[in-house]
Every structure is written in C-alpha cells, then in structure tokens.
Amino acid sequence: MSRNNSNLTRRDFLKRVAVFTAAPMVVPAAVLGRDGKAPASDRIIFGGIGIGGRGTHDLRCMLPEKDVQFVAICDSRKDRREAVKKMVDAHYGNQDCAMHKDIREFLAVRTDIDAVLITTGDRWHALASIFAMRAGKDVYSEKPSAMTIAEGQAVVETARRYRRIYQTGAQRLSEANFIFANELVRTGRLGKVDTVRAHLAPWDAAEMRHDWLPAEPLPPKDEVDWDAWLGPCPWRPYNSAYIKGQWRGHYDFHTSCIGEWGAHTFAQCQAAIGCSDTSPVEYNYVNNESGDGMVTRFANGIKMIFQREGWRGTCGVRFEGTEGWVSVADAYEKPDVEPASLLSEFDKIVNAYKARTGRPTSREGGLSAMGHMRDLLDCVKSRRQAVANPVVMHRSMSTVHAANICMWLKRDMRYDPVKEEFVNDPEANRLRSRAMREPWII
C-alpha cells in the first residue's frame, strides 16, 4: 500500500508502537522458573512406555524433580494408559497427559519429547530402547535390559551411533550403602579382593518353560493390543495371566531367576572390582535348578559366586578380601563389615565418592531409585555417560546370559569377552541371539 493511499500516518504509527512496547508482557510464572519449577528452557520433556508396577515407582521418583515435565504415556494396555494419565494429571493438577497405543506412532509424532521411561516386561526393554534412541530420545530402561547378548550389543551400538544417554535401572549403583561397599573395594580397604558373591532371586529356575498357557478369547484391541504386547516374541495365544505378570518363568518372555536379580547384583559386583566393561571368562556348571553356587571367574582371577541365601533382604552382594569383607542387601540399615571400624568412615567414603564422581546418591528415606533417576537427568543435560550406561548394562547382562546358557547346556563354559563369543562351542554361540518376530525387529 502506498503512503498516499494509507489512512495511517507515520506519526500515528509511531504512537501505536510506543503504546505496544510500553505495555507489560504477561508470561506464566512456570515459564520463568517461578513456583519452584525450572524454566521451560531447562526442563526435560518425558514420555513413558509400558509403565506398570515397577514403572510406577520410577515415575514417583521422576515427577517431583523440578526440571521434569512428563507429558505422555504409550502402552498396549488401556488400563495402564489410563492409570498413568490419572497419576500424572493429579500431580500437575491438569488433564494434559496424552495417551498413545502404538510405540511407532508415539515416537514418530512426539518430537517434543526429550527422553523416555521404559518399564515394560523384559521382552521389550532392549527393542523399545533402540526404537527410542533412533528417534532421538534419551532412555531410562528398567532391567533386565536385554533378552540376549545380541540385544545388548545392539543397545550399546545404537546409543553410540545416535549419541544418546541411557541408564539401566540398576539403581543400587546410586544407593549409599552399596556405594560404600564398592568404595571399600576400590580404595583397597579390604586388601586384595579375590571373591565376590552375588544374590540370585529365590524363586523360579534357570531352566524356563517352553510351553504356553491355554488360549483365551482376545479382548478388544483398544483394551489390549496383543500383537504389540508380544512385540518381538514368538506368537502365542492370548491368556490374561500373561498380562498380570505370569510371563515370568517362560523362555519367550523372561531371563530366569539368574536375570531377575543378577541384572542388579552382577552389575554391582562387576563395578566394585573394576570389571564393568567385561564379563567372566569361565562359568562352572552346577547341577541344580537355579545356578546357586555357580563359580564364575574373570580374566583378572577374581571369582564371582552366585548365592541364593546369606543376606537380609533382596539383591545382596558380598566382597571378600585379604584384610576384611563387606556384605549388604536392601534390608540392611548399614552394611555388615569386618573390620567393624570401617563403618565409622561411612559418611566420609560416600561423600568422597560424590565429590570424585559428581554423581548423586539416593536421598535418605527416599524412594530407592531417586538418586539413580537424578543421575540420568543430570547426564541428559551434561551429555556425560550415566553410571549404569549401556556398556555397564550389556556386560552385566552378558554375564546373565552366559550363566543361563551354561545351565541350559549343562556343562562348563569358557567365554571370550573381547570377541563376545564362547570358546570352541558353536551350540552355545547360537544361543547368543534369538529370532525376532516382524515387524518388531532391531
């Protein structure tokens, strides 16, 4: 429009600009970081995949963090979608949590999401993590985080290729009692450690079921998308017991009693002795159902022995050295240690770990995964590797899988952790991977 045809003079225009620029701009307090919240630019936008019982615990650890905004849940089960939405909406006092049924659609359309919380059953942990990292998301994945050695390798490679931050849910690596035990080993206070002991779950067996439960009528797909629930596993008839947790103990879905707690305790032992980037080279078969008493040996000569009894509470570890020992599990107020005088250094040792590593620990009296979740959040921002990063996960889960294969084939095994294969054992090497059902493939 020419100046001659315009009804707005230059003087009028400048007056209007002055009025506009003088008016206050209203910005929500949350955007500026008031009301105890981080500013929007500093928040990590989260979504969830397959959040059930354990996942609800993790979500409770996440939601109070001021720099987290949880915006969406993806689950093949309608009841779980609705339960998570209700929990999240109640926390934020709104109705904003979105629900998605299909993981592919969820990851494709939610480009606003920075990171995901994955707490599906074992069968989906690795594949969901890989899908998410390919979509540019960082990951917190519950354990056991890989069904096979090959899946663990794929998680490591995907995180490396896409430069993603990944934390597996071995939260005891961020708990003060367990950190104290690890640091006693690392700092030489126990002398030369030659034996560590790892707690196995006192239920189920190493040999799992290869049959399946009887067929029941399929529910409507909106209630349970059975194909998506199965994911990469072989097709099996629907049975409601599976989705209520009775998938455990089945070869298709589980990593056995060894994987159930070994995903925690092996990671803990391997971290303590400086073997988080490797796995044992020897596995000695034991003639029982669970693997209780199996002796494994690392290349440095340290033995890790599997043990079902001997602790108070769950997921115990014990480290034995020439000058003392330490034992701890979830029910210990403080670790048992010999010499007992070492316990007087508890705060000093834990604080020194925090100063050396810059990592948080779970708060006293708080939920068990709070420090572990905080470590992930800090690493998402800094882009440094999390304490339970993909290599830590993969190497401890490789120990799980090698021990299972030893029990299944009922013979001693030698494993090369550099080549990631069994030595002169083609039958064992074939069990390092499983077929995956399309389209749910790596």
Closest CA to 193 of 206, 177, 182, 180: 182
What mean pLDDT is predicted for residues 90-94?
98
User: Do 321 and 275 share a structural domain?
Assistant: yes
What mean pLDDT is predicted for residues 194-222?
97
In whole angstroms, what separates CA 200 from the centre of its chain? Answer: 19
Q: So what's the pLDDT on residue 366?
A: 66
Distances in whole angstroms, Cα of residue 247 to Cα of each of 102, 120, 208, 320, 428: 21, 12, 11, 36, 24
Is this prediction's pTM over 0.85? Answer: yes
For residues 302 and 31, what is the distance between their CA atoms, to the nearest angstrom?
A: 53
pLDDT in tens, 338-350: 999 999 999 999 9
Residue 226, in any domain of the structure: no
Contact between 215 and 237 under an 8 Å Cβ cutoff? The reply is yes
- The amino acid at 72: A
∠ CA 395-396-401, rounded to 5°:
95
68-74 and 303-307 as β-strands: parallel, antiparallel, unpaired?
unpaired
| Domain count along the chain | 2
User: Do 312 and 299 share a structural domain?
Assistant: yes
Q: So what's the pLDDT on residue 363?
A: 67
Residue 18, in any domain of the structure: no
37: its two tokens: 């919240």
Q: So what's the pLDDT on residue 364?
A: 56
Residue 201, in any domain of the structure: yes
Closest CA to 399 of 177, 195, 160, 198: 198
Confidence of residue 254 (pLDDT cuts 50, 70, 90): very high
CATH code, domain carrying 188? 3.30.360
Kindly report the number of other CB atoms within 10 A of residue 351's CB atom. Answer: 12
Range of weakest confidence among 35-39, 129-133, 141-145 = 35-39
CATH code, domain carrying 126? 3.40.50.720
Per the rule left: phi > 0, alpha: psi between -120 and 50, beta: everything else, 125 is: alpha
User: Do 47 and 121 share a structural domain?
Assistant: yes
For residues 57 and 276, what is the distance between their CA atoms, to the nearest angstrom?
A: 26
CA atoms in the 13 A half-sphere facing the CB of 158: 23
Alpha-carbon dihedral 90, 92, 96, 102, rounded to 10 degrees: -70
User: Do 191 and 56 share a structural domain?
Assistant: no
The alpha-helical segments, DSSP class H, found in 297-345 are none
pLDDT in tens, 137-149: 999 999 999 999 9
331: its two tokens: 């029910």
Mean pLDDT score across all residues of the chain: 92
Residue 316 lies in domain? 172-207+254-378+391-430
- The amino acid at 9: T
Sign of torsion over alpha carbons 179, 185, 187, 190: positive
For residues 230 and 252, what is the distance between their CA atoms, to the nearest angstrom?
A: 9
Range of weakest confidence among 20-34, 35-49, 122-136, 355-369 = 20-34
Q: So what's the pLDDT on residue 235?
A: 97
User: Do 148 and 100 share a structural domain?
Assistant: yes
What mean pLDDT is predicted for residues 299-317?
97
Does 36 score more than 60 pLDDT? no
413-416 and 282-284 as β-strands: parallel, antiparallel, unpaired?
antiparallel
Kindly report the number of other CB atoms within 10 A of residue 383's CB atom. Answer: 10
Does 120 score more than 70 pLDDT? yes
Q: So what's the pLDDT on residue 226?
A: 98
Residue 38, in any domain of the structure: yes
User: Do 279 and 190 share a structural domain?
Assistant: yes
For residues 370 and 84, what is the distance between their CA atoms, to the nearest angstrom?
A: 19
295-297 and 138-141 as β-strands: parallel, antiparallel, unpaired?
unpaired
Q: So what's the pLDDT on residue 109?
A: 98
Residue 259, in any domain of the structure: yes
In whole angstroms, what separates CA 140 from the centre of its chain? Answer: 5
Give 3 or 93, the one with higher predicted confidence. 93
The alpha-helical segments, DSSP class H, found in 231-345 are 240-241, 256-272
48: its two tokens: 């969830």
Residue 264, in any domain of the structure: yes
Contact between 417 and 282 under an 8 Å Cβ cutoff? The reply is no
Closest CA to 114 of 390, 385, 389, 380: 380
Does 16 score more than 50 pLDDT? no
Q: So what's the pLDDT on residue 26?
A: 42
Give 174 or 4, the one with higher predicted confidence. 174
Residue 19, in any domain of the structure: no
Residue 348, in any domain of the structure: yes
Q: So what's the pLDDT on residue 5?
A: 42
- Which residues are 296's β-sheet partners? 283, 304
The alpha-helical segments, DSSP class H, found in 273-334 are none
Q: So what's the pLDDT on residue 283?
A: 98
Select from 153, 168, 183 the last residue of a domain: 168
- The amino acid at 288: N
User: Do 176 and 128 share a structural domain?
Assistant: no
Distances in whole angstroms, Cα of residue 212 to Cα of each of 121, 164, 246: 17, 37, 11
User: Do 164 and 195 share a structural domain?
Assistant: no
For residues 173 and 178, what is the distance between their CA atoms, to the nearest angstrom?
A: 7
Select from 121, 137, 168 the last residue of a domain: 168
Does 30 score more than 70 pLDDT? no
Contact between 88 and 82 under an 8 Å Cβ cutoff? The reply is no
> If DSSP codes are grouped into helix, strand and coil, which group holds residue 236?
coil
User: Do 157 and 305 share a structural domain?
Assistant: no
User: Do 97 and 55 share a structural domain?
Assistant: yes
Give 368 or 53, the one with higher predicted confidence. 53
Q: So what's the pLDDT on residue 368?
A: 79
Tell me what percent of the residues of the chain surpass a pLDDT of 70.
Answer: 90
pLDDT in tens, 396-434: 999 999 999 999 999 999 999 999 999 999 999 999 999
User: Do 58 and 159 share a structural domain?
Assistant: yes
User: Do 190 and 102 share a structural domain?
Assistant: no
Sign of torsion over alpha carbons 227, 231, 232, 233: negative
